[in-house]
């Protein structure tokens, strides 16, 4: 195969990758999914976000260590190196399915945010318009994508910081609002744990969906300049980002309004500004939220197309998917992703009221499986490093084993939960199909 068909352009700058990691992590999961987690766990959901953040930190550290020790290897390459064809086939396609679903959810969320201004327009039509714009963006050179994503991510990071600062001022009464005694909202509506510890645990599935995307740096690393310098900085900032962009906003939302009054129709962020008597700010926030989910969808199309490309290189997908355009873009992968998005938007046309709850439950399962195999790959590959990387996971192997056990408990708990019957069924069936296909395709290749 010719070199131009094998190598993607290293057009992503360090600042691009740092913001891409944030972009994948800050999207529908916090801006719209936070209403679901609050409904499930109440204020105690901050405990779920913190524990999930610690697990995420270990996964990111393991991924960062492997990426530095194995230059030009992304997530799929690393799992293939650790476990061979079959596991790589299953996790690669599972990760692709995960990002397809996430991208569809983000685009549907974008359509729902547009309905804030155009309530008569159908969800599927507004989502289709957003999809056309985002697919068009991904047809540019990767540097152009990285630059646009840098500004996309910058807008939502800036907005979250403003929301936090404004929320703190409102909670402290420095800025007057219609909310009386906001701190009582943490305990007067069933307590801090209104649905008990089971509610706190049950929120994990949406929380994992929310955090899914942070590992996108493991996909982008093969197109990144100075990746060995960039990765440690991104990994070390994971917990701080979780606290700033998840826990503080949730605490503000719970203080500004009773958790059981979060409707889910609008983003809780918009509801807070409306409840605080700042309707003009609600319009601004809704625009920011629209930008945020478009950013996450942008990252999703990038992730799906690059995952297909790397799988084609390793032989777990058709060789034709390894072809790239003169601009260094895997057009075949983008085309397949676009078709899948159309299918997702069709579901929004058929069942607009249930499509969010159905789609958001499945990526929570898939991302946990991928994270588990990232940790298992690090456990296996640590002894094979030719050069000891400067960045290493501390207290190895106990830290990584802790993450594997924690993620497995959450995964098994939700797999047998009657409230997640649809998501569990779809996930198990998908895993079974991929398992069977891995043997069929593997035997053909031999």
Query: d(Cα 318, Cα 315) in Å, to the nearest integer?
Result: 7
What's the pLDDT at 428? 85
Closest Cα partner for 410 from 204, 196, 193?
Answer: 204
Least confident of 137-151, 297-311, 388-402: 137-151
Token pair listed for 194 = 């209104």
Residue 219: name the closest of 317, 311, 326 by CA.
311
Average pLDDT on 192-213 reads: 78
**Mean pLDDT of the residues in the chain:** 77
The helix or strand, by DSSP H or E, that contains position 119, with its residue range, turns out to be none
Place of tokens 């993450």: 403
Query: Residue 435's CB: how many other CB atoms inside 10 A?
Result: 13
- Predicted confidence (pLDDT) per residue in 31-72, tens digit: 766 777 787 888 888 888 888 888 888 888 888 788 777 777
Q: What would the pLDDT profile of 323-340 be if each residue is shown by its tens digit?
A: 777 767 778 888 888 888
Top-ranked range on mean pLDDT: pick from 14-18, 138-142, 301-305? 301-305
**Over the stretch 207-257, which tens digit does the pLDDT of each residue have?**
877 777 666 665 555 555 555 666 666 666 666 777 777 888 888 888 877
What predicted TM-score, i.e. pTM, was given to this entire model? 0.78
Residue 4 scores a pLDDT above 80:
no
Rounded Cα–Cα distance for residues 355 and 68 (Å): 39
CA count, 13 A, side-chain hemisphere, 372: 19
Q: Judge whether residue 284 has pLDDT over 90.
A: no
Maximal C-alpha separation, the chain: 71
Q: Which two tokens stand for residue 427?
A: 């996930």
Does domain 3-445 correspond to CATH entry 1.10.238.10? Answer: no
Q: Where are the domains of the chain?
A: 3-445
Taken as a whole, the chain contains a residue count of 446
């Amino acid at each position: 195969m010719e070199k131009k068909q094998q190598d993607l352009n290293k057009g992503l700058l360090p600042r691009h990758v740092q913001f891409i990691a944030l972009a994948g992590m800050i999207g529908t999961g916090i801006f719209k999914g936070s209403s679901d987690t609050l409904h499930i766990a109440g204020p105690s959901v901050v405990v779920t976000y913190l524990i999930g953040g610690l697990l995420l930190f270990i996964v990111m550290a393991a991924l960062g260590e492997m990426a530095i020790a194995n230059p030009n290897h992304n997530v799929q390459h690393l799992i293939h190196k650790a476990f061979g064809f079959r596991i790589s086939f299953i996790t690669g396609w599972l990760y692709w399915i995960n990002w397809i679903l996430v991208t569809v959810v983000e685009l549907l969320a974008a359509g729902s945010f547009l309905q804030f201004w155009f309530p008569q327009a159908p969800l599927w039509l507004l989502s289709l318009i957003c999809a056309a714009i985002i697919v068009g963006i991904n047809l540019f050179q990767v540097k152009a994508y990285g630059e646009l994503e840098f500004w996309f991510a910058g807008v939502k990071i800036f907005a979250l910081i403003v929301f936090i600062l404004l929320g703190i001022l409102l909670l402290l009464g420095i800025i007057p609002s219609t909310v009386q005694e906001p701190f009582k909202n943490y305990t007067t509506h069933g307590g801090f744990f209104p649905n008990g510890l089971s509610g706190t645990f049950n929120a994990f599935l949406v929380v994992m969906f929310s955090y899914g995307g942070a590992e996108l740096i493991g996909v982008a690393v093969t197109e990144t300049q100075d990746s060995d310098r960039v990765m440690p900085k991104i990994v070390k900032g994971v917990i701080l980002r979780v606290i700033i962009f998840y826990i503080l906003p949730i605490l503000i939302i719970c203080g500004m309004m009773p958790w059981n009054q979060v409707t889910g129709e609008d983003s809780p962020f918009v509801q807070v500004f409306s409840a605080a008597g700042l309707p003009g700010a609600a319009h601004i926030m809704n625009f920011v939220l629209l930008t945020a989910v478009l950013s996450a969808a942008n990252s999703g199309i990038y992730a799906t197309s690059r995952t297909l490309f790397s799988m084609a290189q390793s032989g777990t997908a058709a060789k034709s998917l390894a072809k790239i355009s003169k601009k260094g873009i895997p057009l075949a992968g983008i085309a397949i992703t676009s078709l899948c998005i159309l299918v997702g938007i069709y579901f929004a046309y058929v069942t607009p009221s249930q499509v969010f709850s159905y789609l958001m439950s499945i990526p929570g399962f898939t991302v946990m499986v991928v994270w588990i195999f990232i940790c298992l790959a690090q456990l296996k590959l640590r002894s094979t490093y030719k050069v000891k990387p400067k960045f290493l996971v501390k207290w190895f192997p106990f830290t990584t084993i802790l993450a594997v056990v924690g993620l497995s408990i959450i995964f098994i708990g939700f797999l047998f939960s009657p409230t997640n019957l649809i998501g569990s069924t779809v996930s198990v069936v998908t895993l079974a199909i991929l398992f069977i296909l891995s043997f069929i395709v593997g035997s053909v290749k031999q």
